[in-house]
Amino acid sequence: MKNCLAAIILILTFCSNQLHAQEIDTIPINTKNMNIKLKRSPLPSRQGPLNFEPVKIKPLVVNAKINYWKTKTSIGVNVNQAQFSNNWKGGGTNSVAVGGLVNWKAEYNKNSYSYVSELVLQYGKIKNKDQLQKKTNDRIFWDNKASFQLSKSWFFFGSVSFESQFDKGFRYYRDGNGDEQQVLISKFMAPGYLTESIGFEYKPVKYFSTRIGTGTARQTFVVDTAVYDNKPNVYGVDKGKRFRNELAFQVVSAFDKDIFTNTNLKARYLMFIPYENIGWSRIDHRLDIALTAKINRFMNTSLTGVVLFDKDTDVNIQASQTLALGFAFTFPR
**pLDDT tens-place string over residues 190-211:** 999 999 999 999 999 999 999 9
What local confidence, expressed as pLDDT, does residue 14 receive? 57
pLDDT of the residue at 244: 95
What is the per-residue pLDDT for 81?
85
The reported pTM is: 0.79
Which class for 197: exposed (0-12), middle (13-18), buried (19 or more C-beta within 10 A)? Answer: buried
Continuous segment of H or E residues that includes residue 195: strand 192-205
Among 64-73, 123-132, 273-282, 319-328, the range scoring the smallest mean pLDDT is 273-282
Cα–Cα distance between 265 and 321 in angstroms, integer? 15
Contact 286, 259 (CB under 8 A): no
Over the range 248-269, which residues count as b (16 or more CB within 10 Å of their CB) and which as e?
bbbebbbbeeeeeeeebebbbb
In this prediction, residues 24-32 reach a mean pLDDT of 64
pLDDT at position 21: 46
pLDDT value of residue 80: 84
Q: What is the mean pLDDT of residues 231-260?
A: 94
How many C-alpha atoms does 239 have within 13 Å on its Cβ side? 9
**What average pLDDT does range 137-148 have in this prediction?**
97
Note the pLDDT tens digit of each residue in 74-131. Answer: 999 998 888 888 888 788 888 899 999 999 999 999 999 999 999 999 999 999 988 8
- pLDDT at residue 51 in the model: 75
Mean pLDDT of the chain: 88
Helix, strand, coil tally for the chain in percent (to 5): 10, 55, 35
Residues 277-296: b if buried by 16+ CB within 10 A, e if exposed:
eeeeebbbebbbbbbbebee
Q: Which CATH architecture has domain 69-331?
A: Beta Barrel (2.40)
Q: Is the pLDDT of residue 32 over 90?
A: no
For the chain, what percent of residues have pLDDT higher than 90?
62
Q: Work out the number of other CB atoms within 10 angstroms of the CB of residue 187.
A: 21
How do 243-260 and 263-274 pair as beta strands?
antiparallel
Amino acid letter, residue 11: I
- CA-CA distance, 260 to 266, in Å (whole number)? 13
In a 13 Å sphere around the CA of 315, the CA atoms on its Cβ side amount to 0
Average pLDDT, stretch 32-56?
70
CA distance 225 to 235: 12
| Residue 185, pLDDT above cutoff 90 | yes
pLDDT at residue 241 greater than cutoff 50: yes
Q: What is the mean pLDDT of residues 1-28?
A: 56
Q: Are 128 and 83 in contact (CB under 8 A)?
A: no
Domain ranges of the chain: 69-331
Residue of 331, 247, 248 whose CA lies nearest to 297? 331
- Averaged pLDDT, 6-31: 58
Q: Is the pLDDT of residue 5 over 60?
A: no
Lowest mean pLDDT among 47-61, 73-87, 271-285, 300-314: 47-61
Distance CA 311, CA 234 (A): 10
Residues 163-174 have a mean pLDDT of: 94
Give the lowest-confidence range in 39-43, 179-183, 222-226: 39-43
pLDDT score recorded for residue 202: 97
Q: Is the pLDDT of residue 39 over 70?
A: no
User: What is the structure's pLDDT at 22?
Assistant: 47
Q: Give yes or no for a contact between 107 and 115, defined as CB atoms under 8 angstroms apart.
A: yes
